Amino acid sequence: MLKPEHQYAVYILSNKKNGTLYIGMTNNLERRVFEHKNKLIYGFTKKYNLNTLVYFETHQYVNDAIIREKRLKTWKRQWKINLISRRQSFLE
């Protein structure tokens, strides 16, 4: 019997354009963004009102998502802003 495929998301939240950034990882992006928007998660995102999803990418394997999240957290701020801008330009 085959296991159903999982999907993991690495995401970035902000409070405004070029504002404070938060990087996280989840196995349910819709639920997690809902939690942030409704301030159900105590901590950094609630304190800085980070509730706008500005970027996400999906991964099939949890370890890949964890590695990517950790890697993005080491990036310079401008690199993160460039990543977000490239994705938003692509969607327009």
- Per-residue pLDDT of the chain (92 residues), as tens digits, is 555 568 999 999 999 888 999 999 999 999 999 999 999 988 999 999 999 999 999 999 999 999 999 999 999 999 999 999 887 655 55
The answer to whether residue 59 sits within a structural domain is: yes
The confidence score (pLDDT) of residue 47 equals 94
CATH of the domain at 76: 3.40.1440
The answer to whether residue 2 sits within a structural domain is: no
The confidence score (pLDDT) of residue 88 equals 66
The confidence score (pLDDT) of residue 41 equals 85
Domain that holds residue 27: 8-91
The answer to whether residue 20 sits within a structural domain is: yes
The answer to whether residue 3 sits within a structural domain is: no
Predicted TM-score (pTM) of the model is: 0.88
List of long-range contacts for 43-52, beta carbons under 8 Å, 24+ apart: 45/13, 48/15, 48/20, 48/22, 49/15, 50/13, 50/14, 50/15, 50/20, 50/21, 50/22, 51/13, 51/15, 52/13, 52/14, 52/15, 52/16
Q: How many domains does the chain have?
A: 1
The answer to whether residue 1 sits within a structural domain is: no
The confidence score (pLDDT) of residue 91 equals 52
